[in-house]
Structure 1
Amino acid sequence: MRELSQEELRSCCASTEWVSAVAAGRPYRDAGELVAAGQAAIAGLSWEGVEEALAAHPRIGERPAGDGREAAWSRREQSGTAGADPAILDAIAQGNLAYERRFGHVYLICATGRRAEEMLDILLARLANDEETERKIVRDELSKIVTLRLEKLWEGR
């Protein structure tokens, strides 16, 4: 059984609403139980809660600053952009701005294991989505990221 702190949970998802929901289920017997609670909390988040979580995510292609757990995880998650062709990184930066103008929040993708070119292709394709479709995709991507982070948190990585 583990009694994870709210600070530890916040490193997985910056939504106050999400942290409260997951913290309410403590202690957790195993990683599977924790992940299930985290996924249920993402599914139940208000859109404002999702936006709060998004605000803590760096743009794809930008190196997250800081020494904290969340910044370190973001750097590893975005390792597919390290050493990418400058033209691809510039196109991602331009795409990020177009995405933010269109949808009003950062472009979120579970970047783990993805190359910069792949993330750019997905970004460009998602620009054609309507708001409802994009919100569903964002929530799904957030759930993937949170799941990976909860597993790392449980394992102490």
Structure 2
Amino acid sequence: MNLHILNSATKEQATHSFMQCCTSSAWVEAMVAGRPYADRDSVIKQASTVWENLAEVDYLEAFEGHPQIGNVDTLRAKYANTKELASGEQSAVNDASEQVLINLAKGNANYLAKFGFIFIVCATGKSAAEMLALLDARLPNDKAIELANAAEEQRKIFNLRLEKL
């Protein structure tokens, strides 16, 4: 898809395209309403501006659109929403040792229990061991800090997906 097609797409088509990048309905609605975009940079700027002005509930909605890293069942169920642009983002998990996967699953469960949302990390280019180290480093945080960390990781993810779009 190019910028011209995105700008001239129907509301439904544009909604579908932006939903591939981020599953926050408030973010998607604002991105659709922000059309037409003059250039790539204006899309990226709008995406970040909208994201910065959302509420916690909107962030949590976006996080729910992600599978848990290392959880194959969740990957299958949740990847359906974003699979067009998200393919390959967690491919490094496929090469992980069994112990790293077990530790990721345990860490994700601990993270979810502590914060009430799944561990979000921009997984592109990271091995499972690297993601496990990041998860372990972030687990001691308080919820406010971790919400900010997760929101920043979500921004990285939607920016990568916007580039693919």
Both structures adopt the same fold (TM-score exceeding 0.5): yes
**Change beyond 3 A, Cα 1:74–1:94:** farther
Which residue of 2 is the match for residue 65 of structure 1?
A: 76
SS in 1 for 2:95: coil
Distance in 2 of aligned mates of 1:23 and 1:72? 18
Counterpart among 93, 116, 120 of residue 108 in structure 1? 120
SS in 2 for 1:108: coil
- Structure 1 counterpart of 2:41, which letter? G
1:30 to partner: Cα distance: 2.1
1:107 to partner: Cα distance: 0.4
1:135 to partner: Cα distance: 1.1
Give the TM-score normalised by the residue count of structure 1. Answer: 0.91
SS in 2 for 1:97: helix
Counterpart among 25, 34, 52 of residue 34 in structure 2? 25
- Within 5 Å, give how 1:9-88 maps onto structure 2: 9-63=18-72, 64-65=75-76, 68=80, 70-88=82-100
- Structure 1 counterpart of 2:104, which letter? I
Distance in 2 of aligned mates of 1:17 and 1:69? 16
1:129 matches 2:138: no
Structure 2 residue runs of 5 or longer lacking an equivalent are none
Moved more, 72-81 or 29-38: 72-81
Give the TM-score normalised by the residue count of structure 2. Answer: 0.87
Asked whether the equivalents of residues 28 and 34 of structure 1 are also in contact (C-alpha less than 8 Å), the reply is yes
Structure 1 residue runs of 5 or longer lacking an equivalent are none
User: Which structure has more helix as a fraction of its residues?
Assistant: 2
Q: Figure out how many residues of one structure are paired with residues of the other and give that number.
A: 153
